[in-house]
Each structure stands twice: as structure tokens, then as C-alpha cells.
């Protein structure tokens, strides 16, 4: 673990504290039964703003080898994510006339959930996925995957072998990157002259406006505005040509970038940059109320759960995701309150949530045990999960959605 005193992107020392969540365990360090009796590592979780380049970031860096070589998040377990990936792949194949002579590349390609859609359309693919267990699943699907960390060094090797891409995807990966400048430099090195980089990241404005504090965990090093991305891309010879706001993950931003000289800032980019300047993207004043709103949310949720327990009600949770780990640990909600956490991922079932030690079980347990209420930790997939759990709801089960404010469905 290392603590940064300068910005991850621009190197400025002008870092100001926005929110401290204290010390928490690693969000995806799910425990086996044998590990429950062992001490758990915890690390500070502090969010700061770089007032020079506007990048929101945490100060601690856990070594990527520790976080990502073995990983328990598989994108294909989310129907929403797979549909979302197919839509952008189909769109880019058509718009950019991609075919057998093209190459679609994805950084942190997970289990091939996105690249499989290019492969089905006859476009050669290359995934870069550091988690060996996850890369193996992608390879078994026929998605060509290298199990390495992406950066400038790997990019040079790939480019020297002729592995230059027409499209480079980086979905929900820039938040996780310790070597931020190395990865963006790698994009430029691996991109064909007319190629495009497509990144998606949770959007800083939605993150603040919707009180999405549970998106903060040690894997998520950075939280992006368009202004911060613009500075970052520009530093490495890339220009953002287009931008889209997306509802996924509680509000995300998708940017399209090309090499300088082959693209220019489009009107949507210029408009959103101007909007960010108006709401104060680089001024600490905009972010100052965030910590107080998180504390108010904690008070509200804990009161709701305490009231249910006082009535003798049974409460479970749904979604053993990293954001759920942050919420449970930051708010002090543990096995004394929750009977279990249900999750579709067979890789997580049978383990326990870090810090709070709540057991993780298959979703079928919702019907088998029929708890009175279920805390929806993966609120960003609320529509998908509520539809999947219609029978639990028909029998009288209720979901508690905690963000952006506590509500019962």
C-alpha cells in the first residue's frame, strides 16, 4: 500500500479532502469460512480532489497484483452488462465498417462479455485481462485474451507485432488504473491512425449528485469528469471527439477519442466542458456537502433497518458486489442485521462479505427463507434484479434501495 500526496494524472500537490470513509477491507476480498477467524487487512479510504486538473481520486494504492490477478467479478453474470456491450459493439461495427481485416481490442476485457459480440460479427479481437482465472473463461469462449496488465510497455510490444486496433474499448477500467498515464500512452501506441478509443466510467457529477459514495473502494482509484479526461487524453496526443451521458451504473460517461490530427472536439464535447465549468468541476466548494449527505444517508438507512429488526423482521441483502462491501463496512451493517447476501455469481456463493462476515448464498435462498426485506446493494442493476425476483416480491418480500436515498419497493 502506498499513499499519494500528488495527483495520479497531472502530478499536482493541490489535493483537497472531500470524504473520508475510515479504514475498510478490500471490497472484493471475499472470505472463505476458514478465513473468518483470521485478522483482516484494512486500509484508509479517503477521497480527494485535484484542484489543478479536476480529477477526483483516492489517496491509497493497493498493488494491482494483489487486487486483480485473481478476481471474482465476471461481467457475464449481469444481463444488463451483456446487452449494453452488444449494443455498442454492433453500433461500432456498422459505423466504422469493421470486418475481417480490423481489430477490436479491450483493456480489462473480463470474461469476454464485450469482445464476443465483435467475434460473432467476424471481427478479430484481442482482450487484455490481468486476472488469470477470468482470462481463462474468456479464452474458453474463443475470445483471444492475453493475461497481462496493460500499459505503455505492453502496448509497444503489441504495436511492434502489428497488433494495432481500429477500436480500443476501456469499459469501467480507467477508475481502476494505478499507472494512469502509462495506460493512456498505451492507447495512443496501439491505436491505428484512424482508430478510436471508447472509454466508459462512472460520471463524477452523477456520483456527487446521487450520493453514490459506495462506488468508492480501493479498486476505484479515480472518478472522472469530462474535464479530467480531456486533460488526461490531451497529455498523450489524443483528442476527445464525442461524449455521451449514460444511465448505466448510476450515471456514466462514454467518451470517444482519436489521435490528434485525425479528429477534433465535437459540439457535444465542447458543450459538456462548458457545463462542467459552470457547475464548478475544479472548485472544492461544489464537493463540500458530499460528506454531510453521506452521513445523513447512513443515519436514515440504519434507522430503517433498526426499525425492522425491532419488529422481529428478517432482513437479507442482494448483490455481493464491491459497492455493497463499501456500504456495509462504512455504515457498520453486519451479520447482526443481515441474515445473508444473495448473489447470482457461483464464484461468490459460499464465501462471506469482507469485514462484516455476512454469508453469500444463491438467489434461490430468497424464496427458501423469504426474508421480510432485502437490502439491494447492487442498486445500479435495480430494474434487472426486481424483474428477476418477481416471485419473492409477489409473496410479500420488499426491497430496500439505499441510494440516492432510502426507499422501499
Q: Can you read off the three cell numbers belonging to residue 297?
A: 444517508
Is cis: bond before 98, omega within 30 of 0?
A: no
Closest to 190 measured CA to CA, from 219, 161, 229: 161
| 191 assigned to some structural domain | yes
108 is a domain residue: yes
What CATH number has the domain bearing residue 157?
A: 3.40.50.150
Last residue of a domain, one of 287, 304, 325: 287
3-class state of residue 399 by DSSP: strand
**Do 232 and 321 fall into the same domain?**
no
* Count of the separate structural domains present in the chain: 2
Same domain, 157 and 219: yes
| pLDDT (0 to 100) of residue 94 | 97
Q: How far is 57 from 162, CA to CA, in rounded Å?
A: 35
- Residue 311 pLDDT: 97
Q: Does 224 reside within a domain? A: yes
Given a cut of 90, is residue 385 above it in pLDDT?
yes
Indicate if 104 and 235 belong to the same structural domain: yes
Where does the pLDDT of residue 247 fall: very low under 50, low under 70, confident under 90, or very high at 90 and above? confident
Same domain, 85 and 210: yes
75-99 average pLDDT score: 90
Measure the CA angle with vertex 71, ends 70 and 73; round to 5°: 165
Query: Within this chain, do residues 306 and 221 fall inside the same structural domain, yes or no?
Result: no
List of residues 6+ apart from 211 with CB closer than 8 A? 290, 293, 294, 297, 403, 404, 405
| pLDDT of 69 above 90 | no
48 band by pLDDT with thresholds 50, 70 and 90: very high
Asked whether residue 97 carries a pLDDT value surpassing 80, the answer given is yes
pLDDT tens digits for range 299-357:
999 999 999 999 999 999 999 999 999 999 999 999 999 999 999 999 899 999 999 99
Domain-ending residue, one of 254, 287, 320: 287
pLDDT score for 103? 98
Q: Within 10 A of 304 (CB to CB), how many other CB atoms are there?
A: 18
Give the mean pLDDT of 51-73.
Answer: 82
The answer to pTM > 0.85 is: yes
Answer yes or no: do 271 and 350 share one domain.
no
Q: Is residue 71 part of a domain?
A: yes
Mean pLDDT of 190-214: 96
218 and 99 in a common domain: yes
Band (pLDDT 50/70/90 cuts) for residue 76 is confident
pLDDT number for residue 72: 61
Q: Looking at residue 170, what is its pLDDT? A: 96
Domain that holds residue 233: 67-287
Q: Which of 30-34, 246-250, 275-279, 332-336 has the lowest mean pLDDT?
A: 246-250
Phi, psi of 275 (to 5 degrees): -60, -45
Task: State the pairing for strand pair 360-361/191-202.
Answer: unpaired
Domain annotation covers residue 241? yes
- For residue 383, being part of any structural domain is answered with yes
Within a domain: residue 179? Answer: yes
353 contacts 82 by C-beta, under 8 angstroms? no
- Residues 191, 145 share a domain: yes
Task: For residue range 140-186, list pLDDT tens digits in order.
Answer: 999 999 999 999 999 999 999 999 999 999 998 999 898 999 999 99
**What pLDDT, on the 0 to 100 scale, is given for residue 64?**
72
128 located within any domain: yes
pLDDT at 44: 94
Same domain, residue pair 202 and 78: yes
Q: Across all residues in the chain, what is the average pLDDT?
A: 94
pLDDT at 28 over 80: yes
Residues 139 and 230 placed together within one structural domain of the fold: yes
Tell me what the mean pLDDT of segment 203-215 comes to.
Answer: 94
Q: Label residue 102 left, alpha or beta by phi (over 0 means left) and psi (-120 to 50 means alpha).
A: beta
CA distance 166 to 192: 6
Domain C-terminal end among 268, 287, 306:
287
Question: pLDDT-based confidence at 73, cuts 50/70/90?
Answer: low
The three three-digit cell numbers of residue 327, written as one number:
456500504
Residues 208 and 91 in one domain: yes
Q: Mapping DSSP to helix (H, G, I), strand (E, B) and coil, where does residue 127 land?
A: strand
282 and 336 in a common domain: no
Check: CB of residue 326 under 8 Å from CB of residue 27. Answer: yes
Amino acid at each position: 500500500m502506498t499513499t499519494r500526496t500528488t495527483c495520479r494524472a497531472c502530478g499536482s500537490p493541490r489535493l483537497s479532502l472531500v470524504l473520508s470513509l475510515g479504514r475498510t477491507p478490500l471490497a472484493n476480498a471475499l472470505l472463505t469460512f476458514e478465513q473468518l477467524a483470521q485478522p483482516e487487512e484494512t486500509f484508509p479510504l479517503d477521497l480527494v480532489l485535484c484542484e489543478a486538473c479536476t480529477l477526483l481520486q483516492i489517496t491509497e494504492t493497493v498493488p494491482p497484483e494483489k487486487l486483480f490477478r485473481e478476481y471474482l467479478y465476471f461481467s457475464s453474470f449481469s444481463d444488463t452488462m451483456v446487452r449494453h456491450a452488444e449494443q455498442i459493439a454492433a453500433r461500432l461495427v456498422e459505423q466504422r465498417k469493421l470486418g475481417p481485416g480490423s481489430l477490436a481490442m479491450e483493456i480489462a476485457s473480463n470474461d469476454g462479455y464485450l469482445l464476443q459480440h465483435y467475434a460473432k460479427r467476424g471481427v478479430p479481437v484481442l482482450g487484455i485481462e490481468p486476472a488469470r482465472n477470468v482470462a481463462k473463461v474468456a479464452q474458453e469462449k474463443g475470445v483471444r485474451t492475453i493475461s497481462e496488465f496493460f500499459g505503455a510497455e505492453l502496448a509497444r510490444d503489441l504495436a511492434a507485432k502489428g497488433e494495432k486496433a481500429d477500436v480500443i474499448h476501456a469499459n469501467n477500467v480507467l477508475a481502476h488504473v494505478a499507472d494512469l498515464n502509462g495506460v493512456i500512452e498505451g492507447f495512443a501506441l496501439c491505436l491505428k491512425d484512424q482508430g478510436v478509443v471508447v472509454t466508459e466510467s462512472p460520471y463524477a457529477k452523477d456520483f456527487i449528485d446521487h450520493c453514490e459514495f459506495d462506488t468508492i473502494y480501493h479498486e476505484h482509484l479515480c472518478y472522472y469528469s469530462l474535464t479530467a479526461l480531456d486533460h488526461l487524453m490531451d497529455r498523450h496526443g489524443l483528442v476527445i471527439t464525442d461524449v455521451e451521458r449514460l444511465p448505466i451504473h448510476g450515471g456514466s460517461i462514454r467518451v470517444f477519442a482519436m489521435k490528434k490530427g485525425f479528429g477534433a472536439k465535437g459540439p457535444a464535447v465542447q458543450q459538456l466542458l462548458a457545463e462542467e465549468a459552470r457547475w464548478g468541476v475544479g472548485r472544492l466548494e461544489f464537493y463540500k456537502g458530499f460528506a454531510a449527505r453521506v452521513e445523513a444517508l447512513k443515519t436514515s438507512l440504519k434507522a430503517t433497518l433498526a426499525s425492522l429488526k425491532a419488529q422481529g423482521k428478517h432482513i437479507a441483502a442482494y448483490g455481493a458486489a464491491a459497492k455493497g462491501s463499501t456500504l456495509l463496512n462504512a455504515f457498520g451493517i453486519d451479520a447482526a442485521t443481515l441474515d445473508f447476501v444473495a448473489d447470482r455469481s457461483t464464484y461468490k456463493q459460499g464465501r462471506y462479505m469482507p469485514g462484516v462476515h455476512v454469508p453469500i448464498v444463491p438467489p434461490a435462498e430468497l424464496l427458501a427463507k423469504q426474508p421480510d426485506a432485502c437490502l439491494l446493494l447492487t442498486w445500479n442493476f435495480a430494474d434487472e434484479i426486481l424483474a428477476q425476483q418477481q416471485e419473492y416480491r409477489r409473496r410479500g418480500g420488499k426491497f430496500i434501495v439505499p441510494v440516492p436515498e432510502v426507499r422501499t419497493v
